[in-house]
Structure 1
Amino acid sequence: MTRTKPSSITDARRGARLAAVQALYQMEMSGGGVKSTVREYLDHRLGEDSETGPLETADVDFFRVLVEGVVEEQALIDASIKARLAKGWRLERIDSIVRAAVRAATFELLRRADVPVAVVIDEYVGIVNAFFDGPEGGFTNGLLDRLARELKANDLRQLTS
């Protein structure tokens, strides 16, 4: 398969994030496994002409890290998200696409210190806004902002203890 050279690292990562959210959503809806889903994206979706454009330039390695990382650490990620939801909310109540985006963003916030927090939040809010016209983007922004602030506060507490 011919891979299009990314016009920038930003575009390549943006494409990887979008593809990761789509792959996570697909796995949840179909019950498919991580290996077969990643393989499908590598063989048939990434680097191909696409209605969504960004998949053409997706950073394949970053895509793989995101999808495999979310699946590997889903229990920790879900616990982190659940702890920040409003009282009475359950993770299952969140739309599946939003849930996939929030999981991927949470993985980046927890494990990718090389990516600025503002970039993570902005990128995933943008992905959610591409799928929804309603309040989902604001919900995602608020949840990720709360998560990022509390994770940073916990990191600072651990450094000073």
Structure 2
Amino acid sequence: MSEANSLKSVMAQLAEAEKQRAEPELTSRQRRARTVARLAAVQALYQMELGGQGVDTVVDEFNNHRFDADLDGEPLAEADEAWFAEIVRGVVSGQKAIDTAVVTRLASGWRIERLDATLRALLRAGAWELREKPDVPREIVIDEYVELAKAFFDAAEAKFVNAALDGVARDARG
């Protein structure tokens, strides 16, 4: 994952963005826990891709060590560990269909392999939620992953994530 931003600055950006929106029927604490779960899912997918570790190994590592750990000198905020595991396992089990959904929304001739590994993880996690969690409003899903993109990349990549996930949402949800 990009080293440009510390975990502290990423969490601060996500906290500020979370103030701008509300996921229905969830408390502020539950929304925050989902945001942290999404961030961790992107990190886990990235780690799996680069390290070649299996899904159960990575999910167990996060659940047993990372969520309770002190990262970058800051404690990781409470995560919705079940949501995290569902995203990671869902992306892995549905990766072929998810990649197809994402590639459909890339510029002609682009392959998902050409994307940065962090962008792939962001798009895969966001596409999975859009396809598999119709109870979560599309705006929430897209906004969350766009904010994650902003935390790690410049505005151009965030716009790219926004456009790609918006297209996936239209395809998946009409």
TM-score by length of structure 1 reads 0.86
* Cα deviations by residue, 1:87-144 (Å, 9 ceiling, x for unpaired): 0111111111011010000110010112100000000011111111241101000101
Which of structures 1 and 2 has the larger relative contact order (alpha carbons within 8 angstroms, sep 6+)?
2
1:41 equivalent in alignment to 2:62 = yes
Distance across 1 between alignment mates of 2:42 and 2:95: 14
Stretches of structure 1 that go unaligned for 5 or more consecutive residues are: 1-5, 154-161
1:126 equivalent in alignment to 2:147 = yes
- CA RMSD between the two structures: 1.8
* Conservation of the 8 A alpha-carbon contact between 1:14 and 1:54: no
Q: 1:30 aligns with which of 48, 51, 64?
A: 51
SS of equivalent to 1:57 = coil
**What aligned pairs does 1:147-158 form with structure 2 within 5 A after superposition?**
147-153=168-174
Distance across 1 between alignment mates of 2:30 and 2:72: 20
**What aligned pairs does 1:1-161 form with structure 2 within 5 A after superposition?**
8-51=29-72, 55-153=76-174
Aligned residues, how many? 148
Distance across 2 between alignment mates of 1:98 and 1:54: 25
Q: Which has the larger radius of gyration?
A: 1
Stretches of structure 2 that go unaligned for 5 or more consecutive residues are: 1-26
* Conservation of the 8 A alpha-carbon contact between 1:19 and 1:55: no
How many percent identity over aligned positions? 48
